[in-house]
Copies of this chain bind each other. A is one copy, B any other.
Amino acid sequence: MSSPAADLVIRNASELCTMRPVEGRGEAVLGSISGGSLACRSGQVTWVGPDAELARNVALGATTRVVDAAGCTVTPGLVDCHTHVVFAGDRADEFSLRCEGATYLEIARRGGGIGSTVRATREVGEDRLVELALPRLARLLEFGITTAEAKSGYALNLPDELKMLRAVARLPTLQPIELVPTLLCAHAVPPEHAQTREAYVDLCVKEIVPEVARLGLARFCEAFVEQSAFTVEEGRRILGRGKELGLVPRLHADQMSAMGASELAAELGAATADHLECITDAGIAALAKAKVSAVLVPTSTLFLKQATYAPGRRLWDAGLNVALATNLNPGSAMTENANLSLALACLFNGLTPAEALWAFTRGGARALGLDARLGSIEPGRQADLVVHACPSHRHLAYHFAVSHVRTVIKRGAVVLDRPAAPCAAA
């Protein structure tokens, strides 16, 4: 063969999930190859197919790294399209108070809630934010996440929102996970504007959003439209301004109540509507018509003990792109455990294990507008790959809340290797 030798080859996976199909239900979405192999060169996948066809399609050289995936499942790197990975402080004490029966109001009076994260995040410098995010990203990587979205929104003033986004921009130089930044100045009304919320919306529209857009520090602009946060009209103003300036809208929508946030997402042509625990049929129809991606974040639904999970099954069956994410954040989902999200999506959002995996790979990549490059295993796509030490994708949700990850590959390079990781099953 005249083609140059592969940099890296993964051979003979028990199941290789390409995620090539973008339609279907159940396991049809996986594009599975039994005994699957693949080759990478220069950070891209160059070939995928049955191991029996590897030799006549791929040139192996002296420097080709060969990963034996016998008994393992190979998937694209997970794309976590909803995280708040950058912040300071923690809310462990608040959680204890809550367990002891303190009400939301009592916790707020004792300095808890999002306000405590805002105080802590404003107080520290950019370097410290970077330092605090690194172990969280290391844990996300241990669960196979190779790309993550990262939001601002715990600073809520111009200098500190910029500080958060600069931290997001630096982190990919320090560890393997690729990050996609979102400006979330519309996360909450900051305490200094409790009596002057219009002034804060003005600040967002006239200063924060334009400056972030000018500096190119975010791809998305997001608003939390909820009774405790922003109204539909306020969300429309902030996201509309962002859109004018090239920031793609996203919405925290219908989490605690249905107040028209999904409809606003549709109206604005938002990339995503996230949470959706309380979405109505009209909301689903609006999202479907406008081709807004639906982002499920079931770990926070669990942690907040909400009565109802987002209707993942109905969202999927309505033809939406469904994505699944950790929602890693200090208030409602302090966990990097992507595997738990997969299980909860199956148990409570109504997805199958195959659909949940699709939602955390290709679905997440589509939600971020990156599915031409990420989220599937195909020639020409970026070689972001995970070897899981279990024989099928079904084990990822079934053998729940533990990492099955043996090897993580980012842009064709092995960035995590745990050959001694216990294998889930024979």
State the A residues within 8 Å of B (CB).
26-27, 90-93, 95-96, 99-100, 131-132, 134-136, 138-139, 299, 302-303, 305, 334-337, 340, 343, 346-348, 351-354, 392, 394-395, 397-402, 422-426
Contact A422 B136 (CB under 8 A): yes
Q: A90-B425, A399-B334 are in contact. Are A99 and B302 (CB under 8 A)?
A: no
Q: A353-B99, A422-B139 are in contact. Are A335 and B400 (CB under 8 A)?
A: yes
Contact B340 A424 (CB under 8 A): no
Q: For the complex formed by this chain, how many copies does it contain in all?
A: 2
CB distance from A281 to the nearest CB of B (A): 21
CB distance from A422 to the nearest CB of B (A): 3
CB distance from A26 to the nearest CB of B (A): 6
Contacts of A299 in B (CB 8 A): 401
CA distance A96 to B343 in the complex (A): 11
Q: A422-B135, A426-B132 are in contact. Are A305 and B92 (CB under 8 A)?
A: no
Contacts of A100 in B (CB 8 A): 26, 352
Contact B422 A138 (CB under 8 A): yes
Contact A398 B132 (CB under 8 A): no
> Majority SS of interface residues in chain A?
helix
Contact B95 A394 (CB under 8 A): yes
Q: List the 8 closest pairs (A to B, CB-CB), nearest first.
A: A135-B422, A92-B394, A95-B398, A92-B398, A337-B401, A138-B422, A99-B352, A99-B346
Task: Give which listed residue, B26, B90, B131, B353, contacts A395 with CB less than 8 A.
Answer: B90
Q: A351-B99, A424-B135, A426-B132 are in contact. Are A90 and B398 (CB under 8 A)?
A: yes
Contact A303 B92 (CB under 8 A): no
CA distance A353 to B95 in the complex (A): 8
CB distance from A56 to the nearest CB of B (A): 33
CA distance A334 to B390 in the complex (A): 13
Contacts of A423 in B (CB 8 A): 135
Contacts of A392 in B (CB 8 A): 92
CB distance from A39 to the nearest CB of B (A): 28
Contacts of A425 in B (CB 8 A): 90, 92, 132
Contact B398 A305 (CB under 8 A): no
Contacts of A343 in B (CB 8 A): 303
Q: A90-B425, A92-B394, A394-B95 are in contact. Are A402 and B303 (CB under 8 A)?
A: no
Residue of B nearest to A396 (CB): B92
CA distance A337 to B422 in the complex (A): 14
Contacts of A305 in B (CB 8 A): 347-348
Contact B346 A95 (CB under 8 A): yes
CA distance A334 to B399 in the complex (A): 5
CB distance from A34 to the nearest CB of B (A): 14
Contact B395 A92 (CB under 8 A): yes
Contact A347 B303 (CB under 8 A): yes
CA distance A265 to B349 in the complex (A): 37
Q: A346-B99, A351-B99, A395-B90 are in contact. Are A401 and B335 (CB under 8 A)?
A: yes
CA distance A340 to B402 in the complex (A): 10
CB distance from A68 to the nearest CB of B (A): 18
